[in-house]
Structure 1
Amino acid sequence: MKVVVANDDGIFAEGIYKLAKKLSVKHEVFVVAPDRQRSATGHGITMHHPLRANKIKFFDTDILAWSIDGTPADCIKLAIEGILKDKPDFVISGINDGPNLGTDVLYSGTVSAAMEGAIHGIQSMAISMADTQNIDYDIGAEFANIMIDNLTYNKLPKDTLLNINVPTCNKKEVKGVKITTLGARKYKNTFIKRVDPRGQDYYWLGGELIQEDQNEDSDVNSVKDNYISVTPIHYDLTDYDLNKIIRKWNIKF
């Protein structure tokens, strides 16, 4: 199988290295990833300046890899429509340093790269470690291989992708896999105001996660309980139930 691997932590992040190297044992892997940290860029794409793609030596491997001065979504667009001769069988984004749970998927560059794959009609998944401490990326890489085997025979519906979060515990402590829903992730944001040497105000965004009650089947609860969370995501954001209700309002202009 031909697999394109991307991320939002940058092409020299440990997570993408472990993922690509593990996948390359069984599959033909191409790495097309940002040249630097691009977390929380969402689904932004580059339209107002050219993208530069540099072919690089990818760590200690022979995997073909390109470093892109754009967003994660740019990387997948460029890989499919510009760099690769043939359409890949899979797009896998990750392994992210930290979780992509609940409503965080709307900000996530990791998830957006996988979503771009789904937009192109390719089986796609995003995979993240559910914490930033004591990370064993090998667990995530192993599970990615398992999911490719599953998706080879069980195709995802159109316009969908899988968002996977792996608990950061010892492999023996992983209790299993749960198919989950998106949980709630909200933050108490703080903007720290400072002044640069030219007298211009600037702001640093900070804040902390607000602990909220979660649905029993949420991704947040599942990884907290040491389960691997697999959440199917559909990028059609239409609220079909409300659509039917608003049609009855008889709005006129």
Structure 2
Amino acid sequence: MPLIMLTNDDGVNAPGLLALAEALGVLGRVVIVAPDRDNSAASHSLTMRRPLHVKEIAVDTYAIDGTPADCVMIGVNKVLPSRPDLVVSGINPGPNLGDDINYSGTVSAAREGTLLAIPSFAVSLVAANGEECRYPVAAAQARILATEVLERGLPANTLFNVNVPNRPAAEILGRRYTRQGRRLYDNAIQETFDPWGRRHYWIGGGTPHWSEEPDTDVQTVLVGYVSITPLHLDMTNHWALRELQND
């Protein structure tokens, strides 16, 4: 029976994580090791200036007072009874497209699994703020992909970043393998003042600008397909390296 580790960046009680656990439970033993609170936009940070605590809150469900990457590192090496066959992170209640990948705790948890040489992927639901999330739809897509990965594995040093349109299952047009696009924001820093007139800044919101190329993760999801982007651990720009070496 495969051993599947689940995590996220939204916290151990997040509905997306619970939907994922229910969907993947038919494939093997599922063990949840997730942050005890919201860690959105934590990226690949590790907690190194204080000890971390693990709390078993239910059978095969553990909460850690750390980041998503902490959860994978400690879960794989200290919590799980053996090395997992698969690490899945999600379901994030919002997109992780384009430049969001750099900040995402959801994606970074899957990256940590890949660093540990475990097949891993991250799942996000492309829902707008305030929109009802169709978690069962994304969980069903994750189950299909998990079945394939358990059977075939993944390319070396590669994780999948999966984004599912927030549509009814019948309106999902299929799946496409895509490249990372760009998703930039205007006015993403909000300036506010407290009652004493002191200036503060709040990062978040803003107006997004999307990649328009049809083969990107962004445009693929917008037209109704599930986007699966293979991400490589080697971030070297090999084309630029060759050009620089030939100068």
SS at match of 1:216: coil
Deviation by residue 1:5-44 (Cα, 9 ceiling, x = unmatched): 0001111110000101221122100000011110011000
Query: How big is the shift at 1:213?
Result: 4.1
Query: How big is the shift at 1:52?
Result: 0.8
Query: How big is the shift at 1:155?
Result: 2.0
Question: Cα 1:153–1:96, aligned 2, differ >3 Å: closer, same or farther?
Answer: same
SS at match of 1:223: helix
SS at match of 2:180: coil
Specify every segment of 5 or more residues in structure 2 that has no aligned partner in the other structure, as ranges: none
Query: How big is the shift at 1:243?
Result: 1.1
- 1:192 is matched with 191
Question: Cα 1:16–1:213, aligned 2, differ >3 Å: closer, same or farther?
Answer: closer
One-letter identity of the residue aligned with 2:165 = P
- 1:55 is matched with 56
Determine whether 1:38 maps to 2:39.
Answer: yes
- 2:143 is matched with 145
SS at match of 1:163: strand
- 2:10 is matched with 9
2:189–2:201: 8 Å Cα contact kept in structure 1?
no
2:191–2:199: 8 Å Cα contact kept in structure 1?
no
Query: Which runs of structure 2 are paired with 1:18-167 in the superposition (5 Å)?
Result: 18-57=19-58, 63-132=59-128, 133-167=131-165
Deviation by residue 1:139-195 (Cα, 9 ceiling, x = unmatched): 111111111211123221221100101111111111111111111100112231334
Normalised to the residue count of structure 2, the TM-score between the two structures is 0.93
Q: Identity, % of aligned pairs? A: 39
Normalised to the residue count of structure 1, the TM-score between the two structures is 0.91
Specify every segment of 5 or more residues in structure 1 that has no aligned partner in the other structure, as ranges: 58-62
Cα separation, 1, equivalents of 2:40 and 2:124: 12
Number of aligned residues: 243
Greater shift in the superposed pair: 99-108 or 131-140 = 131-140
Cα separation, 2, equivalents of 1:222 and 1:107: 21
Question: Cα 1:83–1:243, aligned 2, differ >3 Å: closer, same or farther?
Answer: same
Query: RMSD of the alignment, in Å?
Result: 1.6
